[in-house]
Chains A and B, each alone.
Chain A
Amino acid sequence: MSRDRQARSSRMRRVFRLANMRLLSQIFFFALFLLACWASWTTRLGGYPVSRFLELDPLVLLATALSTGYVYRALGWGLLVFAVTLIFGRVFCNWICPYGSLHHFVGWLFSILPRKERWEANRYRKLFTLKYGLLAALLLMACFGVLQIGLLDPICLMYRSVILAVAPSSDRLFASMGIDGAALDFLRFAPGSASRVFIASFGVGAILLGFLALNLYIPRFFCRVLCPLGALLGTSSRFALFRIHRNLQRCTDCNLCLSHCEGAADPQGVLRLSECFACMNCLDDCPEDALSFRILGQDYEEVRAGTDVGRRRLVFSGILGAVAVPLLRTQGVNTDENYSPLLIRPPGSVEESDFLGKCIKCDQCVGVCPTNVLQGATFAEGGLEALWTPVMNFHLGHCQLKCTLCSEVCPTGAIRRITVEEKLGVGAFEEQGPVRLGTAFYDLGRCLPHAMEIPCVVCEEVCPTSPKAIQTHDEEIMDAFGQIVVLRKPFIVPDLCIGCGLCEKECPVTDRRAVYVTPVGESRSTGRRLLLSNRVTSE
């Protein structure tokens, strides 16, 4: 009887052990993340907090607070993760972070090392201090208004990878399967639209695959070596109430706890509090039951609380970051003197240097854009500093008048939240006029009616402003074949043009468009003004 109960309770303990809880939590949060990406399509958006993972990210909170001096909208949620870390240690890394779970999964799936080699792979290495240096450099840059955490922040990386590489690839796969009807629509990230194209897809996808492949060399390579968010949490997890406790009387120094240690935190020796992901695998691997996860386990003397970086290295990293700031800025993409004609920002974007201090390159805005006009930038549009930030590509889409989705999902306010009224400059915003993204221009040598005596004016037809910003001079001519042709030669009324790019998108001269938009005249910057006074809004 009592043996029966004992057996049952030990079975219960095995089922409800912490490592299983951790696995459940990972599956839950990973599914939640995919759901957020799935729900980010225009037909599925219903006011859900699809950017919540980014708003929970304490590195986004800290870095944007440093670069802007403010905590935008829901970014304060990041404190929650700090609080959890102060209680339980770096549980975020192995219980919540979808990017960490992905690496964990890939490492588990392909872990073909024999046990002894796995022990070696899971030993702490000096290399793991690199992430603290990166964190120091990135935060110092943020202090000077250059926000580059998005390059390596795991949540930004995860969003960006799914939006720019995974989602369009899987949609394309389903499209190529040739199944008719809406049968597979719920599996698509962007149902009811043509296959989306992203100019940065290949680079982002290759980086994702590269980081995943590195798990075969060092398990959790990204998390242990590079992750700046992990480094940030590592600096606070040393104060955590709960930690892994090793009973020295029971421990036989067998090293089995190293077999599946995710964080490489030396559970077999002096535990490194800053490295431990609290994955709980060591508890299961210990044959002597010497390890436990408990409140204030070992004394501080028996664990290694701090990080291994050393003050000199930290200062060195900080200096590198500080030097990087002027180096990046000398490129001149964010100055009004030499800005790129390709750098057209989405509506609601703040002024460019402010924008670069706020954008975390998560590309949420790119994912929700219903017309595919928004793109994660490559090096071509704005150099390294603007890499993967949102830019508009009017060959692929245009900015729809009554759409403000990008401004609604932006977690950091790089794209300020605007209403349709503000975007169109109606109602209370009449005085201020519409949000202008740039101005359209004609390449007269390529325009069919201007250069080739062929009627066209698709641009005028589609121009969505009222009255139209593209108008025509009608001209009757005798063409090269002696036919009388009425040519409607289009021209731009810059006072009316809002730079939506529909003319460029629909221009039939498809390789290099005869009408194209450049950012001059965009309303977010006074330094890029085109017209001295607007003949329409200022009577």
Chain B
Amino acid sequence: MTDPVRPAGDQAPGRTREAITRRAFAKRVAGLAGLGAAASYLAFAPEDWPLSMADATGLRSQPSVELKRLGDYRVPKPDGAFDLGVGRDVDTALRLRKALDAIGGLAHYVQPGEIVLVKPNVAFDRSPILGATSNPEIVEALVRALLVDARAAEVRVADNPIESPADCFAKSGIAAAVERAGGRVYLPDSNAFHELYTPGAVLIEQWSCFYRPLRSVDKVIGVAPVKDHNLCGASMGLKNWYGLLGGRRNQFHQDIHEIVSDLSLMMRPTLSIVDGGHILTRNGPTGGDPSDVREGQAVAVGVDPVAVDAWCYENLLERGRDYPRYLFMAEDKGSGRVDPAGRVKEIA
């Protein structure tokens, strides 16, 4: 492109000076002009022109979050069935079957080929007998029933525990139970969360949610234990959905009844199962002493999660009809009806 020439009459004969040809000069100018024009287009072209990067008002570059919304996973109960089924038996799988039969059978609620999310309470790194986590026997029985009886295509089991997720799932016995039954455990890594939009919710209208296991599910079933809870009285089916929240969720204890009733808006489950196998009667929700735990030998299943909790509070935790305030708030938000009277069918 350029070649060194020695100009005549230069003072230092050893020096050379770069000279440029006309052609090379023209090419260089044209190249620079092209680059300049392209850059100017990107920077200054009106915002609706293709490839324009202009943001004259600053509005275009404002951060925007894509919000997910959870579906409504409820299924109407069969005609003549009760809202609530209670099964009583020493054998966990049998009492679950009895309770499900009382509300019309599992096959009515889950169709063959569907993807089902089961949400147990695996919040703590505790042995199952301490009652701080869901009973692995009932999780196993449910996953097996979903896969075998209802012929679901896939059963996912997920929770976002307070302690190390892998350890909580392992030591609560849930991971092994799910594996035996043929389901799949979803652990929350930092990539598994998404912002969720819940219209009508007071505290979590927009909040981070453990979303990966919820992607493309057809049905959602909660499986919670019955636990004493120091702040809100009792932790049962509604409080269980807390385990899907991400972010700094511990702020919500400043208004615990509001958040639990908000959770009933966020998640409209197909079924709410609350198991009274190991009832944590005091020192909750963590427990830690087997003497805090009472064997209930009963399980409640229902299409109305509010009524399920109310029934368990009264009959399993045995605390009378002075229900926790969040149940009435959930009723006000349209998530169900508190009073279980006349809506329960018990099979012993």
Which residues does A use to contact B, with CB under 8 Å? 41-43, 175-176, 178-181, 188, 191-195, 370-371, 397-398, 400-403, 448, 454-458, 460-468, 472, 488, 502, 506-508, 510
- When distances are taken between beta carbons in the complex, the residues of chain B under 8 Å from A181 are 212
Whether B286 and A400, one on each chain, are in contact in the complex, defined by CB atoms closer than 8 angstroms, is no
Inter-chain CA distance A466–B284, complex, in Å, is 10
Dominant secondary structure of chain A at its interface with chain B = loop
Whether A403 and B212, one on each chain, are in contact in the complex, defined by CB atoms closer than 8 angstroms, is no
Whether A466 and B231, one on each chain, are in contact in the complex, defined by CB atoms closer than 8 angstroms, is no
Report 20 cross-chain contacts, Cβ distance below 8 Å, ordered by A residue.
A41-B166, A42-B166, A42-B170, A191-B166, A191-B187, A192-B165, A193-B189, A401-B125, A402-B167, A455-B254, A456-B254, A460-B231, A462-B162, A462-B286, A463-B286, A466-B283, A467-B283, A508-B250, A508-B251, A508-B254
Check if B313 is an interface residue, CB within 8 A of chain A. Answer: no
Check if B253 is an interface residue, CB within 8 A of chain A. Answer: yes
Contact of B230 among A371, A400, A461 (CB under 8 A): A461
Whether B165 and A461, one on each chain, are in contact in the complex, defined by CB atoms closer than 8 angstroms, is no
Check if B17 is an interface residue, CB within 8 A of chain A. Answer: no
Give chain A nearest CB distance to B179 CB in angstroms. 12
Check if B60 is an interface residue, CB within 8 A of chain A. Answer: no
Contact of A43 among B163, B166, B192 (CB under 8 A): B166
Contact of A178 among B166, B171, B187, B191 (CB under 8 A): B191
- A400-B125, A457-B253 as given contacts; A371 in contact with B248, CB under 8 Å: no
- When distances are taken between beta carbons in the complex, the residues of chain A under 8 Å from B292 are 466
Give chain B nearest CB distance to A448 CB in angstroms. 7
Identity of the chain A residue whose Cβ is nearest the Cβ of B162 in the assembled complex: A462
- When distances are taken between beta carbons in the complex, the residues of chain A under 8 Å from B162 are 462, 502, 506
Whether A194 and B190, one on each chain, are in contact in the complex, defined by CB atoms closer than 8 angstroms, is yes
Most buried by B among A192, A402, A455, A510: A192
- When distances are taken between beta carbons in the complex, the residues of chain A under 8 Å from B163 are 371, 398, 400, 502
Whether A461 and B286, one on each chain, are in contact in the complex, defined by CB atoms closer than 8 angstroms, is yes
Known: A180-B212, A397-B164, A448-B254. 9 other contacts (CB 8 A): A178-B191, A192-B189, A193-B164, A194-B188, A371-B163, A402-B171, A457-B231, A462-B162, A508-B250
Inter-chain CA distance A371–B167, complex, in Å, is 9
- When distances are taken between beta carbons in the complex, the residues of chain A under 8 Å from B254 are 448, 454-456, 508
- When distances are taken between beta carbons in the complex, the residues of chain A under 8 Å from B164 are 42, 193, 370-371, 397, 400, 403
- When distances are taken between beta carbons in the complex, the residues of chain B under 8 Å from A192 are 165-166, 187-189
- When distances are taken between beta carbons in the complex, the residues of chain B under 8 Å from A371 are 163-164, 167
Inter-chain CA distance A293–B288, complex, in Å, is 65
Which residues does B use to contact A, with CB under 8 Å? 124-125, 162-167, 170-171, 187-192, 212, 215, 229-231, 248, 250-251, 253-256, 283, 285-289, 292
Give chain B nearest CB distance to A329 CB in angstroms. 36
Inter-chain CA distance A462–B249, complex, in Å, is 13
- When distances are taken between beta carbons in the complex, the residues of chain A under 8 Å from B187 are 191-193
Whether B253 and A175, one on each chain, are in contact in the complex, defined by CB atoms closer than 8 angstroms, is no
Inter-chain CA distance A398–B256, complex, in Å, is 23
Whether B231 and A488, one on each chain, are in contact in the complex, defined by CB atoms closer than 8 angstroms, is yes
Inter-chain CA distance A403–B191, complex, in Å, is 26
Identity of the chain A residue whose Cβ is nearest the Cβ of B184 in the assembled complex: A182
- A43-B170, A193-B189, A370-B166 as given contacts; A508 in contact with B253, CB under 8 Å: yes
Whether B191 and A402, one on each chain, are in contact in the complex, defined by CB atoms closer than 8 angstroms, is no
- A181-B212, A370-B164, A510-B248 as given contacts; A457 in contact with B189, CB under 8 Å: no
Whether B125 and A180, one on each chain, are in contact in the complex, defined by CB atoms closer than 8 angstroms, is no
Identity of the chain B residue whose Cβ is nearest the Cβ of A463 in the assembled complex: B286
Identity of the chain A residue whose Cβ is nearest the Cβ of B191 in the assembled complex: A175
Contact of A461 among B166, B231, B288 (CB under 8 A): B231
Identity of the chain B residue whose Cβ is nearest the Cβ of A195 in the assembled complex: B190
- When distances are taken between beta carbons in the complex, the residues of chain B under 8 Å from A464 are 124, 286, 288
- When distances are taken between beta carbons in the complex, the residues of chain B under 8 Å from A461 are 229-231, 253, 285-286
10 residue pairs, one from A and one from B, having the closest CB atoms: A192-B187, A466-B288, A370-B164, A466-B289, A195-B190, A194-B190, A458-B250, A43-B166, A508-B251, A371-B164
Identity of the chain B residue whose Cβ is nearest the Cβ of A373 in the assembled complex: B164
- When distances are taken between beta carbons in the complex, the residues of chain A under 8 Å from B192 are 180
Whether A175 and B286, one on each chain, are in contact in the complex, defined by CB atoms closer than 8 angstroms, is no
Identity of the chain A residue whose Cβ is nearest the Cβ of B256 in the assembled complex: A455
Identity of the chain A residue whose Cβ is nearest the Cβ of B124 in the assembled complex: A464
- When distances are taken between beta carbons in the complex, the residues of chain B under 8 Å from A398 are 163
Inter-chain CA distance A193–B167, complex, in Å, is 10
- When distances are taken between beta carbons in the complex, the residues of chain B under 8 Å from A510 are 248
Most buried by B among A179, A193, A467, A507: A193
Give chain B nearest CB distance to A499 CB in angstroms. 16
- When distances are taken between beta carbons in the complex, the residues of chain B under 8 Å from A488 are 230-231
Inter-chain CA distance A402–B162, complex, in Å, is 14
Inter-chain CA distance A462–B287, complex, in Å, is 10
Contact of B167 among A188, A195, A400 (CB under 8 A): A400
Identity of the chain A residue whose Cβ is nearest the Cβ of B251 in the assembled complex: A508
- When distances are taken between beta carbons in the complex, the residues of chain B under 8 Å from A195 are 189-190
Give chain B nearest CB distance to A332 CB in angstroms. 35
- A402-B171, A461-B229 as given contacts; A193 in contact with B251, CB under 8 Å: no
Identity of the chain B residue whose Cβ is nearest the Cβ of A455 in the assembled complex: B254
Give chain B nearest CB distance to A6 CB in angstroms. 57
Identity of the chain B residue whose Cβ is nearest the Cβ of A369 in the assembled complex: B164
Give chain A nearest CB distance to B95 CB in angstroms. 28
Whether A402 and B125, one on each chain, are in contact in the complex, defined by CB atoms closer than 8 angstroms, is yes
Whether B189 and A455, one on each chain, are in contact in the complex, defined by CB atoms closer than 8 angstroms, is no
Inter-chain CA distance A506–B252, complex, in Å, is 12
Contact of A457 among B165, B190, B230 (CB under 8 A): B230
Most buried by A among B231, B248, B292: B231
